[in-house]
Amino acid sequence: MSEPSLHLPAAHPLRGWRWLALAWVLVLAVVAWHQWRFWHAPAIDTDVLALLPTEAGDPAIADATRRIAGNSARDVVVMLGADAPEAALRARAVFEAFVQTSAATRPSALLVSDRSPDDWFAQARDFFAPYRDRLLTQEQREALAQTPADALAESALVALYGPMGTPRLTEWRRDPLGLWPQWWQAQAASSGLALDADGLLQAEGRHWAVLQFTLRESAFKLDGERRLQDLLDGAASAATTAAPGLRVLKAGVPLHAESAAVQASREVNTIGWGSLAAVLLLVWLAFRSLRPLLLVALSLLVGCAVALTVTVLVFGKIHLLTLIFGASLVGVAEDYGIHWFASRQGVAAERRWSLLRHLLPGLWLALLTSAMAYLALGLAPFPGLRQMALFSVVGLTAAFLTVILGFPWLDGGRMGSTAFSRWLGGTLARWPRLSSRRAVGVLAAAVLLVAVPGLFKLQANDDLRGLQSSPPALIAQQREVGRLLGMPSPAQFFLVQGRDAEQVLQREERLVARLRQVEADGSVGGHRALSDWLPSQRRQDEVAALTSRVEQEVLARLSAATGEILARGEFAGSAVGIDAFLASPASRPVRHLWLGQVGQGMASVVMVNDLSRPDALAIFAAQAEGLDGVRWVDRTADISRLLTHYRHMMSWLLLAGVVVVFLVLALRYRGQAWRVITPTLLAGVLTVALLGWLGQPLQLFNVLALMLLLGMGIDYGIFLVEHRGDASAWLAVSVGAASTWLSFGLLGLSATPALRAFGLTLLFGIGLVWLLSPLFRPRPDDSSLHGHTSE
Amino acid sequence: MLPAAAADPLAQVQGQVAQVPLLRGEFAQEKQVAGFRNPLRSSGRFLLARDKGVVWTTTAPFPSETVITRDRILSRQRDGSRRVEVDARQQPGLRSVNAMMFALMSGDMKALTSTFEVKAEPAAGKGWRMTLVPRSRQLAQAFTSVRLSGDRYVREVELREANGDVTHLRFSAMSETPATLSRDEATRLE
């Protein structure tokens, strides 16, 4: 087969190669040590948000988003809905007992029950009591300012002489108008604390027991096992036995994280092991020998291990999607090993050093173009993509180094050709070549016929949902829990900034006043604002003056009516401040809304719920207009906008990449460079057209896949031009393409829409490049370019 | 007391108290409120409709009316204006207060024992006497204890609130007829 021109004594290693190989072995020893430590406690990230870009240049929004996400990262909420309150209480008891029992029988508890302390209300009331005169709802403020003192005195008298009636929460003379219970009622309603004496929530015809748990991080392993969901399912079925007809709803970030881990572990298994098995099968078919099999597997193992180690060292942890994506690396990284063995067939062991020297330029160029393509993935400021890019480049490079530094030492035996390799290599000779005008015309017509209508059908879609892969049932439950509990959306909120706490609170109050108007006419749901609990100092002083005036007037009238001398209770002399509030248990329901120091000033968020109306987002956005220091943040829309922006940017980069690659190729292949690049370009256009035919929307991840296609597809052209007419080069390209094709094809099975889009694009693209590349190969006797001659 | 009843004083009380759909009567109330030297005295009529609620009509020292239904507490004043004191639909926590009022007035032992620790005491003659202490912490924040006494009807209630106020109620002139609501009464309980 290949009989390269040899310039060096046959069995002599390249200069310095021994030392380089030794250095590489040392590096691998360090990596092995790191791997051993890493898998003891793998730092694996599952949060989809971690993949998304942090708002560049806006630390406040990034900070707010991180706080909001981090705040609920370990919470699990379970709702048990029954027709009768007794059934809900029974179900709650059984459910809690099940969780506790399972904690007792295992070494470590997964969930810790997270009830707000029973005496929370007493603590909060005690904290606020000295400031009772400074706290009024908006309705109370208006009523006190407008209602004549006589009418107020009358109501107070009725309440005094009436039946036991309303609980007062404090001494009568400290609240003669009964304002305090109403204020608490308003707080309870706005913070989702509206539970009855049994702790049940009544909604939609059912009595719901709301259970809150906190995840014990130390006991929670994202190892692909369904521990958390199994525990909750077990508890749910026990509760359902105790209360038939029970509705069980579960929500919480850990559920999504675990579900993602389970799915990822399944996908890493199918995609990773599937493509490994496919690659090894192909290697076996091609070489019928154990040595290539083991050495190619070694290069892949080294590639993945080094990639993992470097990624973890750089990013601190690795994202699950990176692992899944990395699994497809197997299909690309094996090219170098296969190339080695394809060329080794029929070459004597003593000649292997010169063979290496002969292969190196093509291998380097292939690595360079693939690495450039992967690096381009990292240009977008998506942390997730950067991780994948780094993982892939490092993995490819490590596999490459293992091949060039290790294989010549390790592959000392005989390497015969096999029937399969001869047959596959031989197909190249029978493959048509575009030599006539007619052949070119037929191809052009076929391409145009597929491409033009397909491209017209193509639609773009940059929805954030492309990144999410939680099961629909889990998302539906999450949504229902959010609706029942009036839980605010984590992705949309108002960011309020000011130079100090007082300014932030005053600005919040202006925003909240607007929100109340749109809430009152039913346009949108409620909000959660810290200033509803802790008004600004200015507001507190105004209210204190108002209540003092009105209550004294009322007491004077009541004194006259009853013949008693009635004195008003004592209150704190100054407003309650933010620090005291945050330090007290009273702030528990709203503490997470306060961001504190952000940049030069202070900041808080106001969260909103019920975004069910289609125009709710626009209504909220409009409320921030014209208010100093108030901004409406819609992360979903921002991210979709970013995805669109980077789809456009990457498309232009892709075109620029084509130009750069062409220039690099032209340096080496001169007038033949078009032969290398045209198959990849055609394959790219046809792939996009096929997506259009299939009704698949074009998104950023398709464009990124095209980038990879450019990097990998070029390799086939390079090998075919570099080793012209060489059956062993064709064998390597075919086996390499087949395994790459299988790897990405399996990626097309991923439940994550982004990865699926990626896989599908490469499935089409790689297949097409493989089919098209030989059509453009030069004639074996074409000597119009320098380079290596063949037989 | 009968021996069987002594074993379960609650059952005995429950057996004694009339479970009527409609009860009318008069009340006299005395409230001791912190800040007032003298107790606040009022009196008037009441109407208890077991399934609907209670209409509390004060006639002295000045006319006013309070209607307690399952969902809210509503007051009507001298000038006829109405004011919602409590809306249990907005604050389900107050349902328990409403439910307690119901149970107290009608002597519904079953409802009372679910929210209170009940201690029956021996009473003279045919009557009964008992002390109730809230079971739930939430209710305990409003009431420390409730004492009841009566025979066929609840005759006296003493309510001690957590803030030290004490309310004393005496019921009289109880009547089970007419057994249906008049149209006017029914509208009030709507």
* A447-490 pLDDT, tens digit each: 888 888 888 888 888 776 666 667 888 888 888 888 788 777 77
Nearest to A165 among B66, B92, B163 (CB): B66
Q: What span, in angstroms and rounded, lies between the C-alpha atoms of A235 and A376? A: 48
Worst-scoring range by mean pLDDT, A24-38, A269-283, B73-87? B73-87
Q: Percentage of chain A with pLDDT > 90? A: 19
pLDDT tens per residue across span A327-385 = 777 777 888 888 888 888 777 777 888 888 888 888 888 888 888 877 877 777 778 88
> Minimum mean pLDDT among A174-178, A244-248, A433-437, A672-676: which range?
A433-437
A147 touches chain B (CB under 8 A): no
Best residue in B91, B98, B105 for a mutation probing chain A (most A CBs within 10 Å): B91
Cβ distance A188 to B91 less than 8 Å, yes or no, reads yes
What is the average pLDDT across A220-233? 79
> Which of A54-63, A152-161, A622-631 shows the lowest mean pLDDT across its residues?
A54-63
CB-based contact (8 Å) between A106 and chain B? no
Is residue A207 within 8 Å of A92, Cβ to Cβ?
no
Distance of CA B182 to the CA centre of its chain: 22
More confident residue, A253 or A415: A253
- Selected for mutation to probe chain B from A170, A172, A206 (highest B CB count within 10 Å) is A172
| pLDDT tens, residue by residue, A508-555 | 999 999 998 888 887 777 888 999 999 999 999 999 999 999 999 999
> Pick from A418, A435, A331, A431: which is nearest to A728 by CA?
A418
Cβ atoms < 10 Å from Cβ of A3: 11
Spatial distance between the Cα atoms of A99 and A219, rounded to a whole number of angstroms? 14
Q: Nearest-CA distance from A160 to chain B in Å?
A: 8
Q: Which of A303-307, A395-399, A522-526, A670-674 bottoms out in mean pLDDT, i.e. has the lowest?
A: A522-526
Sign of CA dihedral A316, A322, A324, A327: negative
Q: B5 pLDDT exceeds 50? A: no
Tens digits of residue pLDDT in A293-330: 888 889 988 999 999 999 999 988 888 778 877 777 77
Tell me if B90 and A157 make a contact (CB, 8 A cut-off). Answer: no
pLDDT for position A132: 92
Which residues, in sequence order, are CB contacts of A41 under 8 Å at separation 6+? none
Whether the per-residue pLDDT at A415 is higher than 80: the answer is no
Strand partners, B29: B42, B169
Query: Residues 16 to 45 of B: which have CB under 8 A from any A CB?
Result: 29, 31, 33-38, 40, 42
Among A177, A179, A196, the residue to mutate for chain B (most B Cβ within 10 A): A196
Q: Are B55 and B47 in contact (CB under 8 A)?
A: yes
pLDDT at A503 over 70: yes
* Amino acid letter, A643: L
Asked whether the beta carbons of A501 and A578 are under 8 A apart, the reply is yes
B53 versus A163: the higher-pLDDT residue is B53
Average pLDDT estimate for A399-406:
90
Residue A587 neighbours by CB under 8 Å, 6+ apart: A530, A533, A534, A581
Measure A71 CA to nearest chain B CA, in Å: 27
> What confidence tier does A606 reach under pLDDT thresholds 50, 70, 90?
very high
pLDDT of residue A600: 82
Over the stretch A100-141, which tens digit does the pLDDT of each residue have? 887 666 656 677 777 666 677 778 888 999 999 999 998 899
Whether the per-residue pLDDT at B26 is higher than 90: the answer is yes
**Cα dist from B6 to B2, B16, B107, B151, whole Å:** 6, 13, 19, 16
A91-95, A385-389, B5-9, B20-24: range with highest mean pLDDT: A91-95
| Three state DSSP letters for chain B | CCHHHHHCHHHHHHHHCCCCCEEEEEEEEEEECCCCCCCEEEEEEEEEECCCEEEEEEEECCCEEEEEECCEEEEECCCCCEEEEEECCCCHHHHHHHHHHHHHHHCCHHHHHHHEEEEEECCCCCCEEEEEEECCHHHHCCEEEEEEEECCCEEEEEEEECCCCEEEEEEEEEECCCCCCCHHHHHHCC
Other C-beta atoms within 10 Å of B121: how many?
Answer: 11
Distance (Å, whole) CA A67 – CA A49 = 12
First to last CA, chain A: 8
More confident residue, A49 or A155: A155
Question: Is omega for the bond preceding B178 within 30 degrees of 0, making it cis?
Answer: yes
State the count of interchain CB pairs (< 8 A) between A and B: 113
Strands A594-598 and A630-634: unpaired
**pLDDT the model gives residue A127:** 93
**Confidence check: pLDDT of A790 > 60:** no
- Mean pLDDT for A51-57 is 63
B180 with B190: CB under 8 angstroms?
no
**Residue B11: other Cβ atoms inside 10 A:** 12
Interface check A290 vs B, CB under 8 A: no
The encoded tokens of residue A326 equal: 């990395």
H or E segment to which residue A168 belongs:
none
A205 interfacial to chain B (CB closer than 8 Å): no
CB A421 within 8 A of CB A354: no
Cβ distance A194 to B34 less than 8 Å, yes or no, reads: no
What pLDDT, on a 0 to 100 scale, did the predictor assign at position A540? 95
Q: Which residues contact A740 (CB under 8 A, 6 or more apart)?
A: A331, A332, A335, A712, A762, A766
Report whether pLDDT(A57) > 60: no
Section A195-210 average pLDDT? 77
Determine the pLDDT at residue A120. 78
Distances (CA, A) of A403 to A14, A125, A449, A636: 14, 72, 43, 45
User: How far apart are the C-alpha atoms of A460 and A650, rounded to whole Å?
Assistant: 14
Residue count of chain B, please give it.
Answer: 190
Residue A583 has pLDDT above 90, yes or no: yes
The predicted pLDDT at position A393 comes to 92
Whether residue A185 and residue B35 make contact (CB cut-off 8 A), yes or no, is: no
- pLDDT tens for each residue of A738-763: 888 888 888 888 877 877 888 899 99
Mean pLDDT of B66-78: 76
Classified as helix, coil or strand, A53 is coil
Specify the pTM: 0.73
**What's the whole-number average pLDDT of chain A?**
82
Nearest chain B residue to A122, by CA: B141
Give residue A191's pLDDT.
67
d(CA B43, CA B180): 24
Of A626-630, B95-99, B185-189, where does mean pLDDT reach its minimum? B95-99
Query: DSSP secondary-structure letter at A462?
Result: -
Sheet with B64-69, edge to edge strand ranges? B82-87, B72-76, B64-69, B53-60, B40-49, B22-32, B166-175, B154-161, B143-150, B128-134, B116-121
Beta A206-215 vs A75-82: how paired, if at all?
antiparallel
Average pLDDT, rounded, for chain B: 78
CA distance B126 to chain A (A): 28
Q: Give me the pLDDT at residue A1, please.
A: 39
Q: What is the largest CA-CA distance in chain B?
A: 55
Give B 112-171 residues with CB within 8 A of chain A. 115, 136-139, 141-142, 159, 161, 163-165, 167, 169
Low-confidence winner among A418-422, A651-655, B74-78, B114-118 (lowest mean pLDDT): B74-78
pLDDT mean over A226-246: 88
The pLDDT tens digits for B89-139 are: 555 455 666 677 767 776 677 777 777 888 877 776 778 888 888 877 667
Q: Amino acid letter at A288?
A: R
Residue B77 and residue A173: Cβ atoms within 8 Å?
no
Confidence (pLDDT) at A789: 37
